[in-house]
Amino acid sequence: MLLTELARGHSARVVAIRAERSVSTRLMELGLLPGGTVRLVRVAPLGDPLVIAVRGAELSVRASEARHIEIERIAP
């Protein structure tokens, strides 16, 4: 499952980031690490960007970047 498929308000565990090195490095520097948890806070009206909660901070991520983040949903 990809981060773009996660429903608003739901949480998930990051499985992998499958992107170019520069993009994956940037996402990891922001705190998106394999094994870490994320929660989808909101999505802009046109679907881009997505606001996610990671390690107590809210981050804005482009949909094009979120498509590279593989996740597994955490049961509520």
Question: Taking Cα atoms as reference points, which of 26, 28, 58, 24 lies closest to residue 40?
Answer: 58
> Domain containing 61: what range?
3-73
Counting the structural domains of the chain, the total is 1
Query: Token pair for residue 65?
Result: 């970047």
For residue 46, the model assigns a pLDDT of 86
Integer Cα distance of 52 and 61 in angstroms:
7
Task: Give 33-58 pLDDT, tens digit per residue.
Answer: 999 999 999 999 888 899 999 999 99
Residue with tokens 């996740």, as numbered in its chain: 71
Looking up residue 29, the CATH number of its domain turns out to be: 2.30.30.90
Q: How many CA atoms lie within 13 A of 44 on its CB side?
A: 10
